[in-house]
């Protein structure tokens, strides 16, 4: 267990979605690339697209343009990009061990939330196909806040909805946006290295713990919650 950090010391777990619970990188790269190509006539390099992971879609689609698109045009671009994500949806797959971590947290009595840069339409579409939706107490998306990740507003709102103090929660994510959002909200940041960001970039943010694989994350959760003295938790894991 990393430096004695245990989930049993917290009352809530906040989870990022893309790159943390599901591998949607190919869906993202192809869908967003399709949108840029359709509207701007070019497709950014894969590395450039990957660097945009974690930024809300409406902000991604304002890039590479001067002046930025009108509100009406931007709404059209967002709708087109979402339609392209759906075209490539079969390339998405679930990180089973990460999702089991979510389930274990919920069964053990921790309050759970998704904190995502998806907008409301994207989140609704995701939840409609996500098997572990019953393990989620609340979800905060980019449409719910004025300042999405890395601003702390989304994590603070999630904690408020869960009726807990930020210091009582951990936030698990695969990008610097997740870690900065958590840290500035007063939530304990947990990094996972199997998403879009590389090891060095994540560790430079000084997360409280780092897990290279979904299996490592799950094993930490199991060890954390099995060690608690609460009989109810022991019986549910």
pLDDT for residue 230: 42
**How confident is the chain (237 residues) per 10-residue block, as mean pLDDT?**
80 96 92 95 92 86 90 94 92 95 96 96 92 97 94 98 98 96 98 91 96 97 74 42
Domain contains 198: yes
Q: Cα–Cα distance between 177 and 63 in angstroms, integer?
A: 18
pLDDT for residue 33: 95
Phi, psi at 62, each rounded to 5°: -95, -5
How close are the terminal C-alpha atoms of the chain, in Å? 17
Indicate the number of domains in the chain: 2
pLDDT for residue 235: 41
Q: Under a CB-based contact definition with an 8 Å cutoff, are residues 170 and 164 in contact?
A: no
Domain contains 226: yes
The secondary element (H helix, E strand) that includes residue 171 is strand 169-173
Domain of residue 204, CATH code: 3.40.50.1000
Check whether residue 130 and residue 212 sit in a common domain.
yes
Q: Cα–Cα distance between 224 and 222 in angstroms, integer?
A: 5
Check whether residue 200 and residue 113 sit in a common domain.
yes
Q: Cα–Cα distance between 203 and 209 in angstroms, integer?
A: 9
pLDDT for residue 77: 95
Check whether residue 144 and residue 232 sit in a common domain.
yes
Domain of residue 61, CATH code: 1.10.150
Q: Under a CB-based contact definition with an 8 Å cutoff, are residues 176 and 150 in contact?
A: yes
Please say which residue of 50, 71, 91 terminates a domain.
Answer: 91
Q: Cα–Cα distance between 54 and 100 in angstroms, integer?
A: 23
Domain contains 17: yes
Please say which residue of 91, 115, 133 terminates a domain.
Answer: 91
Check whether residue 16 and residue 29 sit in a common domain.
no
Residue 44: domain span:
25-91
pLDDT for residue 233: 46
H-type alpha helices, the chain: 25-40, 46-50, 57-60, 71-87, 96-107, 120-127, 153-162, 176-185, 199-203, 214-226, 231-236
Q: Under a CB-based contact definition with an 8 Å cutoff, are residues 2 and 210 in contact?
A: yes
pLDDT for residue 228: 53
């Amino acid at each position: 267990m990393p430096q004695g950090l245990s989930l049993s010391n917290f009352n809530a777990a906040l989870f990022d979605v893309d790159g943390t619970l599901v591998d949607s990188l190919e869906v993202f790269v192809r869908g967003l690339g399709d949108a840029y190509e359709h509207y701007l006539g070019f497709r950014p390099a894969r590395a450039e697209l990957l660097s945009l992971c974690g930024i809300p879609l409406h902000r991604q689609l304002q890039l590479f343009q001067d002046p930025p698109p009108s509100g009406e045009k931007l709404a059209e671009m967002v709708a087109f990009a979402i339609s392209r994500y759906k075209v490539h949806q079969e390339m998405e797959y679930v990180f089973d061990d990460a999702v089991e971590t979510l389930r274990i947290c919920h069964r053990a009595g921790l309050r759970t939330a998704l904190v995502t840069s998806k907008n409301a339409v994207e989140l609704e579409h995701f939840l409609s196909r996500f098997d572990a939706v019953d393990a989620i107490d609340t979800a905060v998306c980019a449409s719910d806040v004025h300042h999405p990740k890395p601003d702390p507003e989304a994590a603070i709102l999630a904690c408020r909805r869960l009726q807990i103090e930020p210091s009582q929660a951990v936030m698990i994510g695969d990008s610097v946006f997740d870690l900065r959002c958590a840290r500035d909200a007063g939530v304990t940041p947990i990094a996972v290295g199997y998403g879009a960001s590389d090891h060095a970039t994540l560790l430079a943010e000084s997360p409280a713990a780092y897990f290279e694989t979904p299996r490592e994350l799950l094993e930490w959760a199991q060890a954390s919650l099995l060690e608690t003295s609460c009989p109810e938790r022991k019986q549910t894991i």
